[in-house]
Amino acid sequence: MNNFEYAQAPESTAIVDIKSEYGLFINGKFVAPKSGKRFETINPATQEVLAKVAYANELDVNLAVSAARNAFTKTWSKMPAAERGKYLFRIARILQERAREFAILETLDNGKPIRESRDTDIPLAAAHFFYHAGWADKLEHAGVGNNPKPYGVAGQIIPWNFPMLMLAWKIAPALATGNTVVLKPAETTPLTALLFAEVCQQADLPAGVVNIVTGDGTTGSFIVNHPGIDKIAFTGSTGVGKAIAKAVAGTKKSVTLELGGKAANIVYEDAPIDEAVEGIVNGIFFNQGHVCCAGSRLLVQENIQDELIEKLKRRMSLIRVGNPLDKNTDLGAINSASQLARIKEIADSGDLEGAQRWSPACNLPTKGFWYPPTIFTGVSQSHRVAKEEIFGPVLSVLTFRTPAEAIEKANNTQYGLSAGVWTDKGSKILWTAQRLRAGVIWANTFNKFDPTSPFGGYKESGWGREGGRHGLAGYLKAGN
Amino acid sequence: MTNLIDGSEVSLRKFLSNLSPVDQIGAESRAATLATRSIKNESKNWAIDLAIRMVDLTTLEGADTPGKVKALAAKAVRPDPTDPSVPSVGAICVYNDMVKVARTALDENGGKNIPVAAVATAFPSGRASIEVKIQDTKDAIANGASEIDMVIDRGAFLSGHLGEVFDEIRTIKDLCGEKAHLKVILETGELVTLDNVRKASYLAMLAGGDFIKTSTGKVAPAATAPVVYVMLEAVRDFYALTGTKIGVKPAGGIRTTKDAIKQLVLVNEVAGPQWLDPSLFRIGASALLNDLLMQRMKMRDGYYPSPNYVTLD
C-alpha cells in the first residue's frame, strides 16, 4: 500500500505585517495621495484583499519628481561615489536580513510559489544591490568614457511578474550611477515595493533619492510624459513599450525598454534528453510562465519528438499546482483575472486553429486565478499560440528537421529576447548561438539570471541592456 | 536477455553509445530541488517503516566475527525488541565466509524469510581472475546466500572493455540462476561521470542484473543524490523499453532518516510509486537503522529517546 503523500507545508505569514492602507513614498515619507483615491490589491490565489494602496495622479507624480530632482541636485549627485556605494551595500544587507518577509509578501501579492520567491526572486534582488554597490565608485571603468555622468531623475515602470526583482534591476543601477528615482510598481503587485520603501528608511537613504508612486497605466503615463524626468526605464509589454517610445520621441529623455518575448527552446537530437525535459519545464512553467524570456516555443528535432514529448508529459504530471505558500508547490496562481482571461483566449485559439492541447490531470483550487500546465503539439509557425506572447503556463511544440531550419523558425518572430539550445556538442551550441537573434541564449539550461550578465532584447523585445557593465551604460551620459 | 542487443560486443557498444547523454549540472540541480520536498506526518510513519523494510543491514569489515554477525541477524529480525510492530529489515549483507553463520542465525531467530546477501566477485575492488570470482559466487550460494551483490570490473569499464564487463555479469547471473537475486555494484565513485553511471546502469540491466547498486561503501563519494537520480531514470526507461522492472540499491553515506526519506522522494518522483517497495528498492546501510528506530520512537512518543534506547547491534 502506497501512502507517500507530500505534506501541506505552508510558510507562515506571521512575519509579514501588511498594513490596511498605504500612502505614496515621496521624499522619504509615506504621504496620503493628493488624488484622495485608493485601490485594492488582492492575493490572486484566494482573491482576498490584502491592502488598499494609494492612487497617484498627476499632482502626486509632480511631487515625486520634484522630490527626486531636489535630492539629485542637493544630495545624491554631490555625495562621494563611495558613500553612495555604502547605502547600496546597506540596502542589500537589509534585503538579505528581511528576505523571508519579502519572499512571503511577494508570494501573497503575486501568486508565485514560495519556493521561487524564496530561492530566486529575493536572493537575486539582493545580489543586484550588492553587485551595483561595488560599481558606484568605479564608473570610469564602465566603458562609457573617463568621467561618465548620471542623467538625473529616472522614471521607472516595472511589471507584475517579478515585482521585487524588477525593482532591484531598476533601482540598483540607477542609484549606483548617481541618478535618483521615481518608480511605479505594477498595479496588481505594489506591496513589496512599499516594503522596499521601508527598507530605504531603515537604511537612512537620503530623502527623495527613491520615490515610489503606486497607480495604474495612467499614473505611468504621467511619469513618461513628465518634463522633469531625464530617463525612462520600462519593463512590460511591447504594446506599452511602443507607446512610450512614441511619447518620448523628440524629447531629451533617454529610454531603455525591456519588452515581450516568444523564446525558442531548441532541442537537438543529441541533447541530454532528461535534463532538456527539466529545462523545458523550467523554461515555460517557472513563475506560471509569467516570464518575458520564457521558453514558450519548443523546437524539437523531429526524430526525437515522440520520446521527448512522452517524457515531458510524464514530467508535467508531477508538477504540483496549488497554494503558493506551500513549499512543495511548483506552479502557483495566475497573477490577475485579466491575465487569466488573456491566457485562456490565446490558448483557445490553439484549439480552434487545430493544435492538440494536453494538460495533466490536476485539481485546481476553486478560488483564485488558475491555469493548468498546458502543451500544444502539432503547432505550426502561423498559429497564434506560436506567434503571440501568452505569458502563461502554455507551451507550443514545433518540430524541425535540420539545424538550419531550427534557426529559421527560431528567428521567425518579431521578438528576440532569449533562446535555449540543448545539445551535448559544444560546437553546435556555438554555431546555433551565433545565428540566433536573441539577447540571451542559454545552453543546456534555461531561465538562469545573474546581476553580472547583461539582459535585453533584439527587435521588438526592447532597447538597451540591464545588468552587468552594459546595464550601467543605460544610466550614464558618456563623459570625456 | 532482452532483444535490445544480440549479445555481441558490437551491438552492446552501439546500444550504449546511443543513450542520451546526461547533463551533470541539470541532473544535480533537479536532484537538489527534489531534496526540498517535505512529506506529511502520516506519510512519514509509513515512510520510516518502509525504509526499515528496505534496509540491507550490512557489516563488511575485516574485523567481522561470527559473534558480530549473529548479533546483526538478531537485530535484522527484530530491530527494536521493545516494539513488535517494527518490521524486519530487507536483508542482511555480509562477506562470503559469514553467509552460513548469518543464514543459521536468521533461521534460528525466526528470520527464515530474511534473505542473506553476500558480496561477491572479489569485493570491493573486483580485481581477481574470473575463476576466482566464479568460485566466490558459487561458495556464497552454496552457503545459503539468496542475494549476490557483485562488483563490476571498473578497470575494464573505464578502459572501454565493455564486453568483458558484460560477460562477467552474465556469467555470474547464470550461476545465480533461480537460486539468487543478482545486484550489480557499479561503484559510481570510481566511474565519476553521470554519463558513465547511465552507461554502466544499462550495461548491468542488459546483462541480467536484477538490481543496480551504487557503491561498495568503501569508496567516497557513494550514493549521492544525482547518482541515484540517474540510476532511477535508467530503471524507469528500461522498464518502458522492456517491461522488466529492475531494482535500485543506493549504499554508502545514507545515515539518517532524513537522508532515507530524500531517497524515497527521488524514487517516488523519478521511477514512480511502483518502485516504493523492498523488492525494487533497497538501502545498503548500517548506522541508518538506528536513526530510523529513534525517529520512529519520536513519532510515537513525541520526543527523541536517548541513543541508549536503541541497541548497537
pLDDT digits (tens, 9 = 90+) for A400-449: 999 999 999 999 999 999 999 999 999 999 999 999 999 999 999 999 99
What was the pLDDT predicted at A478? Answer: 87
CB-CB under 8 Å, A274 with B233: yes
pLDDT digits (tens, 9 = 90+) for A114-134: 999 999 999 999 999 999 999
Check CB contact of A306 with chain B, cutoff 8 Å. no
Assign domain B9-309 to its CATH superfamily. Answer: Aldolase class I (3.20.20.70)
CA atoms within 13 A on the CB side of B154: 21
d(CA A289, CA A374): 11
pLDDT in tens, A235-268: 999 999 999 999 999 999 999 999 999 999 999 9
Please identify which of the residues B56, B80, B136, B149 carries the catalytic annotation: B149
The pLDDT of residue B21 is 96
B298: which 3 cell numbers? 519520536
Asked about B149 being catalytic, the answer comes back as: yes
DSSP A256-322: EEE-----EEEE-TTS-HHHHHHHHHHHHHGGGG--TT---EEEEEGGGHHHHHHHHHHHHTT--BS
pLDDT along chain B (313 residues), means of 10: 83 95 96 88 90 97 96 96 95 97 97 97 96 97 98 97 97 97 98 98 98 97 97 97 97 95 95 96 96 95 91 81
* pLDDT of residue A8 exceeding 80: no
Give the CATH number of domain A21-259+459-477; options: 3.30.70.100, 2.40.70.10, 1.10.510.10, 3.40.605.10: 3.40.605.10
Does the beta-carbon distance from B37 to A274 stay under 8 Å? no
What is the nearest CA distance from A118 to chain B, expressed in angstroms?
12
Take residue A273 and report the three cell numbers written for it: 534528453
Q: Where are the domains of chain A?
A: 21-259+459-477, 264-443
CATH placement of domain A264-443 = 3.40.309.10
Alpha carbon of A129: minimum distance to chain B alpha carbons (Å): 25
Q: How far is CA A331 from CA A107, A320, A373, in A?
A: 12, 6, 8
Grid cell listed for B139: 561458495
Asked if A328's CB is within 8 angstroms of B38's CB, the reply is yes
Q: Check if A272 contacts B (Cβ < 8 Å).
A: yes
B46–A424 C-beta distance less than 8 A: no
Q: Measure B239 CA to nearest chain A CA, in Å.
A: 14
State the pLDDT at residue A3.
65
Do the Cβ atoms of A167 and A185 come closer than 8 Å? yes
- Predicted local distance difference test score (pLDDT) of residue B43: 86
Give the pLDDT mean for A130-142: 97
CA distance B111 to chain A (A): 23
Q: Do B21 and A115 touch (CB under 8 A)?
A: no
- Whether ipTM > 0.90 holds is no
Active-site residue flag, A258: yes
Quick one: pLDDT band at residue A1, thresholds 50, 70, 90? very low
Report the chain B residue with the minimal C-alpha distance to residue A4.
Answer: B43
The answer to whether the beta carbons of residues A262 and A388 sit under 8 Å apart is yes
Of A151, A158, A160, which Cα lies nearest the Cα of A183? A158
Q: In the prediction, which pLDDT does B312 show?
A: 81
- Please tell me whether the peptide bond between B79 and the residue prior to it is cis, using omega within 30 degrees of 0: no
Return the pLDDT at B37: 86
Q: Is A3 left (phi over 0), alpha (psi -120 to 50) or beta?
A: alpha
Q: Is A292 a catalytic residue?
A: yes
Question: Residue B47: which H helix or E strand, with range?
Answer: helix B41-54
Is A205:A86 a contact under the CB 8 Å cutoff?
no
Q: In what order do the strands lie in the sheet with A394-400?
A: A356-358, A374-377, A394-400, A297-301, A264-267, A418-422, A440-443
Residue B1 has a pLDDT of: 53
| pLDDT value of position A480 | 64
Cα B106 from Cα B91, distance rounded (Å) = 10
Q: Which of A274, A285, A305, A326 to mutate to test the interface with B (most CBs of B within 10 A)?
A: A274
Predicted TM-score (pTM) of the model is 0.93
Which of A11, A258, A389, A466 is the catalytic position? A258
Is it the case that residue A376 has pLDDT exceeding 90?
yes
